[in-house]
Structure 1
């Protein structure tokens, strides 16, 4: 994937670093200016107030796309119904900057476009930037969308964890490089043309990812259920003799001849869920006993303890967390989702491990290999049996430990398990290799965006024109106009006559 300008994903690593880089040198005609000099920050009113019966766009935070600068302004409400609520007012061409975590870090920044009658009410978590004429809204939006800018803003957030916000004074003091207006137009035009090419590539990548996942899932079901072989009703014999409280065994499909369905608590020697100790008993990065959380279990079936590693001490492991101890060879799966089906075999990197409350551990009995059990717990058919029993709260699935103990597990002979695991591992490795290639394209796409924006705001994207009026001249005029407006006496609105108190009006003639 190329931009057509000789840019590549590494070009953002050299040259000037903006913002906050070591060099303040700018191309000819450019100037530094703060957002307070360039914009009205959080103006409280419209240029033209609508009437109470006029309809107006409503733009909540969810209506702003991440990273794209696009908004959905299709929801319209009567102004009089909402004007007394503490919603943010903005209008066409204002720049919206999400100030709360994680929306700001995700790049929910946009130019307000397509508003009904040019006005909108939106989330109180927007900062609104209204250009005073020296900076184009689109130029400002693309500058703020840079990851370096957002990382710097994140470092200056204030407030409690989970509710941190970018303070207005920080945003007002943020300096940006300002080219002449004609050059800004050339820069914005080139950015938007190149981003259209990048987005076309990203659409193709997303399509590839969407096609890969169903194929991988169908492959797991194909091997785990033996779908290529003839069905045998005798494989259901053990289920016919049991009645599940959570799972309907009558709906289970037959398996091939020689296979059988086994209830998990019969096929495993241990099935246990984890628990979580108090925060002071958990240690980051180093300790005695590794403590696994769901994010340490990869969707591809392995434990990744490099992600925010957490430890507990041996006393806690043997004491309050005694029931959640696991060992190498145990098979883990998450019981809180989505997504469900994150299953992995505990590695022998440490002799003992512990798990949190969102994970269940299965210790395979003599008839099942851990590798086979891991694939079973990843198979969509088996995950579907669990999902049907899940309690859903705010879009989150929660699987009970008792359900895991009732889970039917397909069990072929051990030699068949080994052959199928070997074949499945080879096939999945091919899928994972393809997926890794797609992920590399995703990273390249992000690098191309960064390189494009870096070139744009260091003067390397489009040529300068010496005939363009320098940005400093326009900025000087705007500063002078603001000083004049500030010095002019404010006109007071005529005082409204007070109504006469009851009983003190004019006497009748």
Structure 2
């Protein structure tokens, strides 16, 4: 509680004291959530969710975005008769999640009451504390790492205790200024989010553009086609691939079966766990997660090694060399493709990956682009068999995969063209990443300005926030609870809002699978 000297306890219950007004604009104070009389209410667990709208929408950690908004596009419902609900004006705090995500906070803007899980905490402030201002400040504290510094770590997750939350110190301007800050943030962040949406739209077009370029080059779509290109392969048979449905290629090109143009097509195997070593070793051992969606090997992700003896004996059939083209045959997703880099002279692969090595009729570069072509890799992935939610492609089918083969000089010219396109799109990708970083910096700068008193001007006629604290102290002295904001009468049959507040940019929100 605020003392007569104008100080509040440090968060965490240390007993140290903090100056209530020191360094703050006129009329502002510092106070803990507990001192402000903020009501803290956890939700309830439910293992019986449904997506058909039966019951009431049940908010979970994934419904609070990294931008501090409610997103209920992935709505789950529960049948529940309790009165544990969040309503418009409440603040929803994510109390349990992975350590990086504990503390995400959103203001609730739902016409109807909604249920919420036990991994969420409902906060209701007193009259004089704007819920939207509180939510924005707590979310900013999450984004700058405050909650990560006070959480409790558990197995595979972390949490913030009720006491630590109530001991959290926030700044409180006069109520009229809180309203001005919230309105200004809404206006400025709407512009930021419009820019983010434009960047996201540009980013989403990159891969389809590269896919289109790949197919145009790999299939020779800019040239007149000839049925002669189909004659040889249509005389062959395959158990899984119908060669008679292939597109005709330009004059001088032919379809060939992969095993006829590749000197080697092998899949890997997985040794005993005791023969694999994390982080360091002699021979790098690739797994599916090391093949990135953008078409390169990323060995920084959980690197695994095997020793030379295991490589030469147990795994001798799955050795791969720089320039070999890898495709995963177990998924989802299927068909991630990348070239073995030159970082090591030899590598090895697990059983979920197939390695193609170019023969004399095709260049390794051409084989790489062929196996990245959506048309060609699609012929392979459509043969997948599903078993217990997992898709598998047979090694024998990989050997029967049709490969378009133009003359070598045409291969070289098209590979050069594709390299230039890939470099240009990689540059665009880096520009998009840079713009995303700038947007994050701008968000943080706006939030910093909001909670240090520089976003909007102060008005000396505003009632100081210290009056709010005095009123709460007086109410507590008489044993009364702080005045709560007035809430709309409760309704039944809640409808799920898709989003709350400003538009939410597209993207999956990481959270516990609750």
TM-score range, shorter chain: 0.7 to 0.9
Name the CA distance, whole Å, in 2 between partners of 1:168 and 1:322: 57
What is aligned with 2:510? none
Name the CA distance, whole Å, in 1 between partners of 2:278 and 2:170: 38
Once the two structures are superposed, what CA deviation does each residue of 1:376-415 show, in whole Å capped at 9, x if it has no partner? 1111112322332234589875444343233211122222
Name the CA distance, whole Å, in 2 between partners of 1:250 and 1:74: 42
Please list, as runs of the form range in 1=range in 2, the aligned pairs for 1:62-81 lying within 5 A after superposition: 63-72=63-72, 81=79
What is aligned with 1:27? 24
Tell me if structure 1 keeps the 8 A contact 2:87–2:110. no
What is aligned with 2:487? none
Once the two structures are superposed, what CA deviation does each residue of 1:312-369 show, in whole Å capped at 9, x if it has no partner? 3334434554444322121122335565553222122211222344432212222222
Name the CA distance, whole Å, in 1 between partners of 2:389 and 2:444: 34
Please list, as runs of the form range in 1=range in 2, the aligned pairs for 1:452-471 lying within 5 A after superposition: 452-471=446-465
What is aligned with 1:92? 88
Name the CA distance, whole Å, in 2 between partners of 1:357 and 1:144: 47
Tell me if structure 2 keeps the 8 A contact 1:57–1:75. no
Please list, as runs of the form range in 1=range in 2, the aligned pairs for 1:117-136 lying within 5 A after superposition: 119-136=113-130
Closer, same or farther in 2 for the Cα pair 1:355/1:75, shift >3 Å? closer
CA positional deviation for 1:456: 1.7
TM-score w.r.t. structure 1 length?
Answer: 0.77
- Aligned match for 1:160, one of 131, 155, 167: 155
Q: Secondary structure at the match of 1:158?
A: strand
Name the CA distance, whole Å, in 1 between partners of 2:72 and 2:161: 26
What is aligned with 2:41? 42
Higher helix share: 1
Tell me if structure 2 keeps the 8 A contact 1:275–1:355. yes
Tell me if structure 2 keeps the 8 A contact 1:259–1:413. yes
Task: Kindly report the root-mean-square deviation, in angstroms, between the aligned alpha carbons of the 2 structures.
Answer: 3.5
1:83 matched to 2:77: no
CA positional deviation for 1:238: 3.6
Q: Secondary structure at the match of 1:291?
A: strand
Name the CA distance, whole Å, in 2 between partners of 1:151 and 1:321: 45
Number of aligned residue pairs: give it.
451
Gaps of 5+ in 1: 1-18, 46-54, 488-509
Tell me if structure 1 keeps the 8 A contact 2:335–2:381. no
What is aligned with 1:48? none
Name the CA distance, whole Å, in 2 between partners of 1:37 and 1:393: 57
Tell me if structure 1 keeps the 8 A contact 2:95–2:102. no
1:478 matched to 2:472: yes
- Aligned match for 1:266, one of 260, 269, 274: 260
What is aligned with 2:239? 245
1:440 matched to 2:440: no
Name the CA distance, whole Å, in 2 between partners of 1:308 and 1:40: 43
CA positional deviation for 1:144: 2.8
1:204 matched to 2:198: yes
Closer, same or farther in 2 for the Cα pair 1:234/1:154, shift >3 Å? farther
Once the two structures are superposed, what CA deviation does each residue of 1:267-294 show, in whole Å capped at 9, x if it has no partner? 2232233445566655444332223344
Q: Secondary structure at the match of 2:221?
A: coil
Gaps of 5+ in 2: 1-10, 13-17, 45-53, 482-514
Closer, same or farther in 2 for the Cα pair 1:468/1:300, shift >3 Å? same
Once the two structures are superposed, what CA deviation does each residue of 1:84-110 show, in whole Å capped at 9, x if it has no partner? 6xx953222111123343597298632
What is aligned with 2:108? 112
Closer, same or farther in 2 for the Cα pair 1:313/1:148, shift >3 Å? farther
Closer, same or farther in 2 for the Cα pair 1:108/1:174, shift >3 Å? closer
CA positional deviation for 1:229: 1.7
Name the CA distance, whole Å, in 1 between partners of 2:142 and 2:93: 15
Q: Secondary structure at the match of 1:146?
A: helix
- Aligned match for 1:345, one of 339, 359, 368: 339
Q: Secondary structure at the match of 2:265?
A: strand
Closer, same or farther in 2 for the Cα pair 1:333/1:74, shift >3 Å? closer
Closer, same or farther in 2 for the Cα pair 1:297/1:477, shift >3 Å? same
Q: Secondary structure at the match of 1:363?
A: strand
Tell me if structure 2 keeps the 8 A contact 1:290–1:309. yes
| Highest RCO, 1 vs 2 (Cα 8 Å, sep ≥ 6) | 2
Closer, same or farther in 2 for the Cα pair 1:260/1:100, shift >3 Å? farther
Name the CA distance, whole Å, in 2 between partners of 1:267 and 1:386: 16
Name the CA distance, whole Å, in 1 between partners of 2:306 and 2:411: 35
